Amino acid sequence: MFDFGIAGYRPRWLTDLAEIRREHGDRLAALVGRRLTTTRLMWDPDRDEWWSDGPVVLGFEEEQVEVNHQKFDEVSITWNSVDIGRAPAVEGFHLGWRGDAPHELVALCGRRLSSVALLQWHGEDRDVADDTCAVCFDFGSDGSVTVANGLDENHLDFTVPEPRWRRHSLP
């Protein structure tokens, strides 16, 4: 199993909404009311860009969730397994953790989580993304972030999810 060069990180890839909800729904729901305290993205300092293959790390007052996507439909949600104090060691890459980008994500730090939902994509013509799952962290009037599949990598969206995303509130 590829661990993205992160000691102790063991992604468990899931594709089925019901399975994701069963495995992580209660714990995701328990984040509601907590403040977002830290954010980290894997960063390539040589190119000054996000290395979007690695997990998106969100810290919520004593709980850390790590969300990662791969292939067209796989998501891994892990808990408290990424040490953001240690740089990832991916062969052929010079990577680190960055907590000050993008500005939309950083602006959510200190905000209380209002709700969290699993989203499931339903395209108009049964596209390749159908049934893909994402996680939406909503901070009410302060904004939101959705960690979605960007076709074999993570994608961050800071807008209200479009109607083709079916919302499955938690718990």
For 50-95, the DSSP string reads E-TTSPEEEEETTEEEEEEEETTTEEEEEES---TTS----TT---
Query: What per-residue confidence (pLDDT) applies to 1?
Result: 58
- Positive or negative, the CA dihedral 37, 9, 18, 130 is positive
pLDDT at 147: 98
32: exposed, middle or buried (Cβ count in 10 Å: 0-12, 13-18, 19+): middle
Query: Would you write out the chain's pLDDT as a tens digit for each of its 171 residues?
Result: 578 999 999 999 999 999 999 999 999 999 999 999 999 999 999 999 999 999 999 999 999 999 999 998 999 999 999 999 999 998 888 999 999 999 999 999 999 999 999 999 997 777 777 889 999 999 999 999 999 999 899 999 999 999 999 999 998
For residue 29, what are its two tokens?
């729901």
Which of 25, 75, 38 minimizes the C-alpha distance to 55?
A: 75
pLDDT number for residue 171: 81
Q: Determine the Cα–Cα distance for residues 82 and 132; give it in Å rounded to an integer.
A: 24
Euclidean distance between CA atoms 163 and 167, whole angstroms: 9
Residue 128 has what pLDDT? 72
pLDDT at 14 (0 to 100): 97
Task: Return the residue matching tokens 């063991």.
Answer: 10
pTM score = 0.95
Region of 73 (left: φ > 0; alpha: ψ -120 to 50; beta: rest) is: alpha
